[in-house]
């Protein structure tokens, strides 16, 4: 039910250390993340092949991890290199665990959940703003008890901001005046929303200190999506009737990684141009994002609650609005990609209805 032939965010880079292993379920797989002595981040199957104890309950060593049950040690490639209960004896070639391709880039750890030989780092989304000179960036994590596609739908349907986030990012009276366009690209889809000639909303009033903020502004939101669930929001305001370059913009990272059919890891961040050493603006925006995303979390988890154990809302005969256009395209694209993946694996019965 998941697309495995793509890169997902497994963790924020600072979450993974040399000292304590991090257990995380990704696309239904139990994975342990840790760093070796030289700082390399590693992702292994979180299950010792001896008695199936979680390796995340063990200890990180110089170049690998040892099981907390009987001490078997596994290197960064998942190969057992020590079995202390049987010193001097040959280690079984079956004593190994799966190692997942893992790349550290843009402040996060990218994992490939499919066949390791197909992992191509050049396909990792280019969130270059998150480590570019002249930009400040922060990232955060949120767990959501709902299917990951509900989050993708929410992020691509920008009409909801005037209602769910009406106290910070929009207002219901703006809804009728918003202009939208959906662009299909070679790699995904871009959903563009534009709110012209209106007073600035509270979130922007908190970070932009300019004379033109006393008048009306133009407000843009361009959400970029690539399979399976990596997104970037180009959002900003500018004096009404002027080019974007005259205003202020922010690049928001939104990376959604399935945990199970009904739970999701949500990694998000903010990147903006800022004066060196000035973290006040980005700190304010991160607080605003955390507040808004908690609003999203409550709404999406309530939707999942009404769906029960089901995960495909389109199979439940829902009403479709214009704001769902980009989300529908994303789901159709995923359906085709997953069907092709499963056909290659010889099991067409696993195809996703998205």
- Give the pLDDT confidence of 125-165 residue by residue, as tens digits: 999 999 998 899 999 999 999 999 999 999 999 999 999 99
Tell me: do 70 and 155 sit in the same domain.
Answer: no
Closest CA to 219 of 202, 233, 239, 205: 239
Residues 55-108: tens digit of each pLDDT: 999 999 988 999 999 999 999 999 999 999 999 999 999 999 999 999 999 999
**pLDDT on residue 153:** 98
Q: Please give the helix or strand (H or E) that residue 289 lies within, else none.
A: helix 280-307
Domain count, the chain: 2
Tell me: do 194 and 314 sit in the same domain.
Answer: yes
Single residue among 123, 147, 178 that ends a domain in this structure: 123
Tell me: do 25 and 163 sit in the same domain.
Answer: no
Q: What is the CATH number of the domain that holds 198?
A: 3.90.380.10
Tell me: do 237 and 273 sit in the same domain.
Answer: yes
Percent of residues, the chain, with pLDDT higher than 90: 83
Tell me: do 300 and 333 sit in the same domain.
Answer: yes
344 falls in which pLDDT band (50, 70, 90)?
Answer: confident
Tell me: do 258 and 232 sit in the same domain.
Answer: yes
**pLDDT on residue 16:** 98
10 Å Cβ neighbour count for 205? Answer: 12
Tell me: do 142 and 220 sit in the same domain.
Answer: yes
How many angstroms separate the CA atoms of 161 and 168, rounded? 9
Tell me: do 313 and 228 sit in the same domain.
Answer: yes
Q: How far is CA 149 from CA 57, 110, 142, 221, in A?
A: 31, 19, 15, 20
Is 336 contained in some domain?
yes
Tell me: do 96 and 39 sit in the same domain.
Answer: yes
Single residue among 64, 88, 123 that ends a domain in this structure: 123
Tell me: do 168 and 248 sit in the same domain.
Answer: yes
- CB burial of 163-175 (b: ≥16 within 10 Å; e: otherwise) equals ebbbebbbbeebb
How many angstroms separate the CA atoms of 223 and 329, rounded? 13
DSSP structural state of residue 262: T
Single residue among 77, 104, 123 that ends a domain in this structure: 123
Tell me: do 265 and 224 sit in the same domain.
Answer: yes
Structural domain that includes position 245: 128-341
DSSP structural state of residue 145: S
Tell me: do 162 and 296 sit in the same domain.
Answer: yes
Residues 278-328: tens digit of each pLDDT: 678 888 889 999 999 999 999 999 999 999 999 999 999 899 999 999 999
10 Å Cβ neighbour count for 123? Answer: 14
Q: What is the CATH number of the domain that holds 112?
A: 2.102.10.10
């Amino acid at each position: 039910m998941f697309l495995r032939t793509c890169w997902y965010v497994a963790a924020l880079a600072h979450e993974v250390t040399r000292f304590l292993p991090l257990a995380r379920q990704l696309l239904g797989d139990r994975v342990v993340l840790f760093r070796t002595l030289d700082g390399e981040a590693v992702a292994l199957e979180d299950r010792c092949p001896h008695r199936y104890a979680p390796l995340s309950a063990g200890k990180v060593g110089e170049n690998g991890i040892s099981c907390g049950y009987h001490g078997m040690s596994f290197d960064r490639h998942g190969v057992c290199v020590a079995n202390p209960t049987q010193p001097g004896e040959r280690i079984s070639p079956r004593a190994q665990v799966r190692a997942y391709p893992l790349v550290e880039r843009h402040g996060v750890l990218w994992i490939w959940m499919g066949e390791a030989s197909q992992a191509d780092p050049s396909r990792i989304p280019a969130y270059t703003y998150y480590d570019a000179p002249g930009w400040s960036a922060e990232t955060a994590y949120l767990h959501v008890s709902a299917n990951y596609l509900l989050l993708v739908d929410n992020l691509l349907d920008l009409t909801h901001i005037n209602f769910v986030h009406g106290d910070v990012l929009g207002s219901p009276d703006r809804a009728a005046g918003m202009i939208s366009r959906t662009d299909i690209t070679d790699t995904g889809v871009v959903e563009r929303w534009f709110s012209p000639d209106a007073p600035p909303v509270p979130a922007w009033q908190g970070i932009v200190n300019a004379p033109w903020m006393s008048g009306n502004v133009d407000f843009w939101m361009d959400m970029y999506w690539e399979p399976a669930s990596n997104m970037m929001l180009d959002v900003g305001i500018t004096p009404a009737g002027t080019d974007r370059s005259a205003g202020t913009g922010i690049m928001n990272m939104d990376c959604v990684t399935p945990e199970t059919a009904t739970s999701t890891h949500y990694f998000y961040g903010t990147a903006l141009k800022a004066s060196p050493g000035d973290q006040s603006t980005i700190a304010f925006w991160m607080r605003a994002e955390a507040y808004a995303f908690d609003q999203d979390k409550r709404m999406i988890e309530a939707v999942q609650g009404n769906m029960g154990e089901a995960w495909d809302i389109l199979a439940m005969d829902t009403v479709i609005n214009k704001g769902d256009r980009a989300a529908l395209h994303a789901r159709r694209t995923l359906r085709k990609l997953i069907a092709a993946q499963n056909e290659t694996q010889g099991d067409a019965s696993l195809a996703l209805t998205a």
